[in-house]
Amino acid sequence: MSLQSTTTQPLDATVPAGSWDADQPRLGVRAYFTCFKGIVWREVLRYLHQRERFLSALVRPLLWLLIFAAGFRQTLGVSIIPPYETYVLYEVYITPGLVGMIQLFNAMQSSLSMVYDRETGAMRTLLVSPFPRSFLLLSKLVGGVAVSLLQVYAYLVVAYFWGIDIPLFGYLTVLPALILSGLMLGSLALFMSSVIKQLENFAGVMNFVIFPMFFASSALYPLWRVKESSVGLYEVCLFNPFTHAVELTRFALYGQVDWSSLAVVIGCTVVFLGAAIYAYNPSKGLIARRGGPGAGA
């Protein structure tokens, strides 16, 4: 009888209203800051301890800068187009594109780490914390952007000593553009990490996303040259978010703002980040539908 009465008794009769909320730990600003700092610092330390990752992040764009650009300097010269006020060498033109390449590959590397953490169970520990999932994902995203900034400025230092003509103030004015571009690409990578089921499938997804985004953009050649050869490809490049990330960086290196690219980058960041947060929702997202980590949390 006692068991029956216990199981059928309403919850309101046994637990006073508001007592459950009173027992929960209240998370203040300091707790959020500690969590945010821990996640971001973990990403930075992971990067600093992986020297091969640092070298690969530099070798890839430097090969394009030192070999590819030198070979095509005469055939792919760039005329006077904004933000340039004079004719520029090809290696000067592709520098913003190579910066975007660093951020793009870093974002995909962050996506790979998310898939790895999900397979090893490390993500479950993160997702069952009392902090909102949106805050945890945003912290993870900021950590990836911080790593990409380290990689980009390491490349810009090498480019400076190589003789790439960039105004000194451009190294500071480009920072907001790098942050926005990193947030957009990182948000896309977060969403991709919820779609990829297994670590083995990551390479194929990377090739399907990275190379079309990179080559169908203004990273390697001006859009007016693309339009001369193919109007269809020109339209694809215009709809490519990576194109606008590159152009935002290109103008920022010279202390200017491409307002249309800025609007596209901000808009895509909101869409991609919203999709990633939804995908990691324990009751509605893609992770929950596959029964992934945190689905029942």
CA 28 to chain CA centroid, Å, is 28
Calculate the average pLDDT of the chain. Answer: 79
Token pair, residue 150, equals 């380290």
Cα Rg of the chain (Å, integer): 23
For residues 34 and 136, what is the distance between their CA atoms, to the nearest angstrom? 12
Residue 4 has pLDDT above 50, yes or no: no
- Ramachandran class of 163: left when φ > 0, alpha when ψ lies in -120 to 50, beta otherwise: left
Q: In this structure, how many other beta carbons lie within 10 angstroms of the beta carbon of residue 126? A: 21
| Model confidence at 2: pLDDT above 70 | no
Lowest mean pLDDT among 27-36, 38-47, 57-66, 193-202: 193-202
Question: Comparing 238 with 79, which gets the higher pLDDT?
Answer: 238
Distance CA 252, CA 173 (A): 6
pLDDT in tens, 32-43: 888 888 888 888
How many whole angstroms separate alpha carbon 297 and alpha carbon 294? Answer: 5
Q: What is the pLDDT of residues 160-181, one digit of tens each?
A: 888 888 888 999 999 999 999 9
pLDDT score at 78: 62
Q: Whole-angstrom Cα distance, residue 47 to residue 53?
A: 7
Residue 51 tokens read as: 């020297």
Question: Could you give the residue ranges of the DSSP H alpha helices within 121-222?
Answer: 122-127, 133-162, 170-195, 202-215
**205-256 pLDDT tens trace:** 777 888 889 999 998 888 888 888 889 999 999 999 999 999 999 999 999 9
Comparison of pLDDT for 118 and 288, the residue scoring more: 118
Q: What percent of the chain has pLDDT over 70?
A: 76
Residue of 161 and 197 predicted with greater confidence:
161
Amino acid letter, residue 244: H
- Amino acid 184: pLDDT: 95
At 76 the pLDDT is: 61
Per-residue pLDDT band for 121 (boundaries 50, 70, 90) equals low
Rounded to whole angstroms, the Cα distance separating 140 from 114 reads: 9
Q: Please tell me the predicted confidence (pLDDT) of residue 17.
A: 41
